[in-house]
Structure 1
Amino acid sequence: MNSFDESMIVMNELFGKDYQFALATTINDMPSIRFVDAFFDKGSFYIVTYDNTQKVKEINTNKNVSLCNEMYNFSGIAKNIGHPLDKKNHEIRKKLVKVFEPWYFIHNDESDEKMCYIEIKMTHGFCYKDGIGYKMDFINKKAKKFSFECDIVFVK
Structure 2
Amino acid sequence: MVNYEESLKILSELYGKDSYFVLATAKDNIPSQRVVDIYYEDGAFWIVTYASSRKVKELDENPNVSFCNNFTSFKAKAYNVGHPLKEENKEIRETLTKVFTPWYFAHNNEKDEHMCFVKAELISGFFHTKGKGYHINFEEKSVKEIDFAPEED
TM-score (normalizing by structure 1): 0.95
**SS of the residue 1:97 aligns to:** helix
**SS of the residue 1:105 aligns to:** helix
CA offsets 1:100-148 (integer angstroms, 9 cap, x no match): 0000000000011100000000000000111111000001110001111
* 1:24-35 matched pairs, under 5 angstroms: 24-35=24-35
Is contact 2:7–2:143 with CA below 8 Å preserved after alignment? yes
Distance 1:152 1:10 in 2: 21
Match of 1:55 in 2: 55
List alignment gaps of at least 5 residues for structure 2: none
**SS of the residue 1:8 aligns to:** helix
* 1:35-114 matched pairs, under 5 angstroms: 35-114=35-114
Distance 1:46 1:24 in 2: 14
Distance 2:140 2:88 in 1: 26
Match of 2:136 in 1: 136
**SS of the residue 2:25 aligns to:** strand
List alignment gaps of at least 5 residues for structure 1: none
Distance 1:46 1:105 in 2: 16
- Structure 1 residue ranges, 4+ long, deviating more than 3 angstroms after superposition: none
Distance 2:4 2:144 in 1: 8
Aligned residues: 153
One-letter identity of the residue aligned with 2:89: N
TM-score (normalizing by structure 2): 0.97
Cα distance change of structure 1 residues 25 and 125 upon mapping to structure 2, 3 Å threshold: same
Query: What's the CA shift for 1:3?
Result: 1.8
Match of 2:21 in 1: 21
One-letter identity of the residue aligned with 1:135: H
Distance 1:2 1:12 in 2: 14
Query: What's the CA shift for 1:22?
Result: 0.4
Distance 1:139 1:86 in 2: 28
One-letter identity of the residue aligned with 2:85: L
Is contact 2:2–2:145 with CA below 8 Å preserved after alignment? no
What percent identity do the matched residue pairs reach?
A: 44
Distance 1:39 1:22 in 2: 13
Distance 1:5 1:141 in 2: 8
Query: What's the CA shift for 1:152?
Result: 3.9
